[in-house]
Structure 1
Amino acid sequence: MFSEFKPFIINTSKIKINLIKGGQGFPVLLLHGYPQTHIIWHKIAPKLAENFTVIVTDLRGYGDSDKPPGNPEHSHYSKRIMAQDQVEVMTQLGYNQFYLIGHDRGARVAHRLTLDYPDKVKKIVLLDIAPTYEMYTLTDQEFATAYYHWFFLIQPFPFPETLIKQNPDYFLTHCLQSWSKNDFTFTFTSAAIQEYLRCFRDPKTIHGTCEDYRASATIDLEHDQADIEQKIQCPLLVLWGKQGIIERKYNVLDSWKKRAINVQGKPINCGHFLPEEAPEETYQSIRDFL
């Protein structure tokens, strides 16, 4: 899927991050979401590599990156510490500035990274999210029904881990099927599915990804509240699935205009997984913006 990319393992100050790198030109960092890995970008990254140097990582807790155990404060999986991982990766690769693209959980890491390191990011693309703080503070039955996993995964250890470990293949496949709107076998290649399953079967992945969500409901909200008036300074493109809850529930552009000074965006005719459900339109929108 990434035949022209080279694999790397980067030792950050805290953990090891798995990544691949390919192409040439100005650097672009791609961050994935739940319950996936860097593989989500396999339909887009090779095209971006025709014009950019593309770095595609696994977030901590996911894929083949390290999966530290959680702690009572869930700080090991705060978006602040996950953003620090990625900045250290890019610094070690020799990139002091870069474009940043995130989907789902990776978009939440990207948002925090851009706030904490505004001098690092030249442009940012966020896929299928509204701001975390807004989504939690405006929770209602419609949102809780569609995003039930936000409230399941944050339950205290080891409750969600124990249930998911009974059948991780079913849980992961259910997530992919229920959050996508296009034909499943067309959207997710067999090679991608096998990689997602391989990684998600690891109990450390199940725990790490639960901690990611627990952090979002605790320490991340504290960080968001502390700098609620701070805005993203670089140009921001937001894209979201026209058939998903983000389209139905939020005025996405208005939401992000409260958190950034230069925003543009539009819906893409698909569900949650833009890079795999609608790769051509998603790629072209990103390419035009960059």
Structure 2
Amino acid sequence: MGVNEFDYHRIHANGVTLNVAVTGSGTPVVLLHGFPQTHLMWRKVARELAGEHTVICPDLRGYGESDKPDGDYSKRTMAADVVAVARELGYSRFALVGHDRGALVAFRAGLDHPDVVSHLMCLDVLPTLDMWEVMHGTSAAVGFHLYLMAQPAGLPERMIAAASDDFFGYFLDLWVKDPAAIPPEVRSVYLEASRRAVPSIVADYRASATIDVTHDSEDLAQGNKLRMPVTVIQQDWGAALGFDAAARWKAWTIDLHHQTTTAGHFMAEEAPDEISTAIRALLKR
């Protein structure tokens, strides 16, 4: 599915205007992209689901063709954006799937809006608190970008802007197992969009080292959990870095299905059939 196969909307919600791609018909499924991507990462999965569902793929606040305001990039605010977009499209309840940064937004939406999110899937992340806890020693080098973008405003933005295509392209190359899954024309869209969004992308990551930690810590202290059926699909980072990923997720959930994949990080593009099948299975729970 390419750009021309989506219907595009400019939706003003929660104080920002988001670029929202919609296709298909039926019960709603919202798909949230990761870094350094846009809604186009869902083009293959959206095609698979469009015969059964209305598939809603926004560019997150600060990414793609959505607004890039200064200020708040907490996952709480970004989750509220998504809920408001769905409401503007006429949906008060929906299934939610997120990848990477989008998965963190989805996680927060599930905690903050349990009566809105019917089913939740998170691809290739840990919850924010757990992510910081498992990153230690030399193994933390794989997450150098997390630490770089956690620094105070100024230096990270200048460093990344000075070589933005090299920076964002590095992750597109490092994290993919099948480079053909991200063809040159799609890669070009990702790089161009990220090039225009350096300050907001850094702000998103900086929030995950500051206010997002506060919000997650508060939920943990209060015993708040995800109440809806949850599926998590990850690369086997736990085995590679020495932690139990499933156990980490179980602490936040009531009804969890956890599985690993042999696909690379960009699994929605590398293994769309696997992800689409998993979404269908989740929606039957």
On whether the aligned pair clears a TM of 0.5, the verdict is yes
Alpha-carbon contact 2:178-2:264 (below 8 Å) kept: no
- Of the three residues 133, 142, 149, the one matched with 2:145 is 149
The aligned residue for residue 46 of structure 1 is 47
The aligned residue for residue 270 of structure 2 is 277
> How many percent of aligned residue pairs carry the same amino acid?
40
Residue 222 (structure 1) aligned with residue 222 (structure 2): no
Q: Cα gap change, 1:288/1:13 in structure 2, threshold over 3 Å: closer, same or farther?
A: closer
The aligned residue for residue 189 of structure 2 is 195
The aligned residue for residue 78 of structure 2 is 82
Matched position secondary structure for 2:4: coil
Please state how far the C-alpha of 1:210 moved relative to its aligned partner.
0.4
The aligned residue for residue 63 of structure 1 is 64
The aligned residue for residue 244 of structure 2 is 251
- Superposition pairs of residues 109-148 of structure 1, within 5 angstroms: 109-148=105-144
Deviation digits for residues 41-91 of structure 1 (CA, Å, limit 9, x no counterpart): 111111111110000001101001100113xxxxx0000000011110001
Residue 206 (structure 1) aligned with residue 201 (structure 2): no
2 CA distance for matches of 1:16 and 1:246?
Answer: 38
Matched position secondary structure for 1:77: coil
- Of the three residues 259, 280, 283, the one matched with 1:287 is 280
Matched position secondary structure for 1:55: strand
- Of the three residues 178, 183, 204, the one matched with 1:183 is 178
Residue 36 (structure 1) aligned with residue 37 (structure 2): yes
Matched position secondary structure for 1:111: helix
Which residue identity lines up with residue 63 of structure 1 in the other structure? G
Cα root mean square deviation, aligned: 1.3
Matched position secondary structure for 2:259: strand
Matched position secondary structure for 2:121: strand
2 CA distance for matches of 1:139 and 1:17?
Answer: 33
Q: Cα gap change, 1:247/1:32 in structure 2, threshold over 3 Å: closer, same or farther?
A: farther
Structure 2: stretches of 5+ with no match in the other structure: none
2 CA distance for matches of 1:123 and 1:156?
Answer: 36
TM-score (ref. length: structure 2): 0.94
Deviation digits for residues 187-243 of structure 1 (CA, Å, limit 9, x no counterpart): 2112211111221121xx10001011111111111111111120000000000124x
The aligned residue for residue 262 of structure 1 is 255
Alpha-carbon contact 2:103-2:125 (below 8 Å) kept: yes
The count of residues paired between Structure 1 and Structure 2 equals 279
Alpha-carbon contact 2:164-2:195 (below 8 Å) kept: yes
Alpha-carbon contact 2:14-2:80 (below 8 Å) kept: no
The aligned residue for residue 16 of structure 1 is 17
2 CA distance for matches of 1:253 and 1:37?
Answer: 28
TM-score (ref. length: structure 1): 0.93
Deviation digits for residues 100-155 of structure 1 (CA, Å, limit 9, x no counterpart): 00000100000001111100011111000111101113321244211111001111
The aligned residue for residue 73 of structure 1 is none
The aligned residue for residue 91 of structure 1 is 87
